[in-house]
């Protein structure tokens, strides 16, 4: 089953051997049945050529999965669907705010707060009875881009300037935690610094427990950009109208009607959203 010596090109330009088991593992996370996963992985393995990009491999696997299980294809596309929350990154800020709300926090986006030395624009502020959190978000438009050390350094400096201040969120209180959240990955130097400087960092696959992928899947808050039944322009129209979650169109057909979808298309979209949110 396994072809030996086929080299593929990653998003960052590096070359590595094709790993059948890695593809199979990523397909399993979509929730697809094991026989379907193995069938797709085997077909993709037979079709790839020397130097094929990981993007091409993903596209082929996604297309095959979509032909059989659209809701599984939507889950499989999650990492790339997050890129669709651009190009500005404002929908990503709103999306992260929704995750905090699902975790029991009250949330505000894009707030100006006064530090000891300067004012700071904070992307997400979340609080409950126990904690006050402030999060700086770093959005990337390319899957191979990483949040690097200099970002971790300036985020740490920003939160250090806020530590001794008092804020009125829920009650008069000080900041408990400052978070750095990205839609892609961190460089190794950023991770090392974050561990040493005690900066809470959340990204794709980092940390091992409680990473962005796990937060999305545990709350069932998949972005609208996951849906295979919507075109790119339709997704952008929804984002521009403040709709970022699959759950929102599952609960209410209004936004889909507003962007001009017919009843048949609306049913297809909502059926897929319902399966995805289960």
Q: Where is the domain boundary, 17, 47, 76?
A: 76
Q: Are residues 105 and 190 in the same domain?
A: yes
Share of the chain above pLDDT 70, in %: 99
pTM for the model stands at 0.86
Residue 85 lies in a domain: no
Residue 81: what pLDDT?
93
Helix (H) / strand (E) containing 9: strand 7-9
What is the distance between the alpha carbons of residues 270 and 247, in angstroms, rounded to a whole number?
A: 9
pLDDT (average), residues 223-227:
95
Q: 146: phi > 0 → left, psi -120 to 50 → alpha, else beta; which?
A: beta
Q: What is the DSSP letter of 3?
A: P
Residue 111: what pLDDT?
97
Give the residue among 62, 99, 249 at the shortest CA–CA distance from 183: 99
Q: What pairs with residue 179 in β-bridges?
A: 135, 200
- With bands split at pLDDT 50, 70 and 90, how would you rate the model's confidence at 37? very high
Strands (E), 81-196: 106-114, 119-127, 132-138, 146-147, 166-169, 171-174, 177-182, 185-186
Residue 81 lies in a domain: no
- Asked if residue 4 has pLDDT above 70, the reply is no
Residue 89: what pLDDT?
87
Q: What is the CATH number of the domain that holds 244?
A: 1.10.150.20
Residue 82 lies in a domain: no
Residue 246 lies in a domain: yes
Convert the pLDDT of each residue in 133-152 to its tens digit.
999 999 999 988 999 999 99
* Tally of domains within the chain: 3
- Asked if residue 5 has pLDDT above 80, the reply is no
């Amino acid at each position: 089953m396994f072809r030996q010596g086929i080299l593929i090109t990653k998003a960052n330009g590096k070359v590595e051997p094709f790993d059948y088991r890695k593809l199979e593992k990523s397909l399993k996370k979509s929730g697809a049945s094991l026989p379907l996963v193995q069938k797709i992985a085997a077909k993709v393995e037979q079709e790839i050529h020397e130097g094929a990009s990981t993007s091409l491999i993903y596209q082929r696997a996604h297309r095959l999965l979509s032909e059989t299980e659209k809701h599984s294809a939507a889950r499989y596309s999650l990492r790339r669907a997050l890129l669709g929350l651009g190009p500005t990154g404002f929908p990503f800020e709103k999306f992260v705010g929704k995750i905090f709300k699902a975790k029991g926090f009250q949330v505000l986006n894009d707030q100006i707060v006064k530090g000891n030395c300067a004012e700071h624009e904070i992307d997400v502020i979340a609080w409950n009875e126990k904690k006050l959190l402030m999060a700086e978000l770093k959005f990337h438009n390319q899957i191979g881009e990483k949040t690097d050390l200099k970002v971790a350094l300036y985020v740490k400096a920003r939160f250090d300037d806020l530590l001794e201040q008092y804020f009125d969120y829920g009650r008069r209180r000080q900041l408990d935690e400052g978070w750095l959240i990205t839609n892609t990955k961190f460089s190794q130097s950023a991770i090392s610094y974050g561990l040493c400087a005690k900066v809470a960092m959340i990204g794709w696959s980092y940390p091992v427990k409680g990473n962005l992928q796990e937060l999305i899947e545990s709350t069932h808050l998949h972005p609208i950009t996951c849906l295979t039944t919507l075109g790119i322009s339709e997704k952008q129209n929804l984002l521009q109208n403040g709709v970022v979650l699959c759950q929102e169109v599952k609960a209410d057909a209004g936004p889909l009607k507003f962007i001009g979808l017919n009843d048949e298309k609306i049913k297809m979209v909502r059926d897929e959203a319902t399966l995805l949110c289960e």
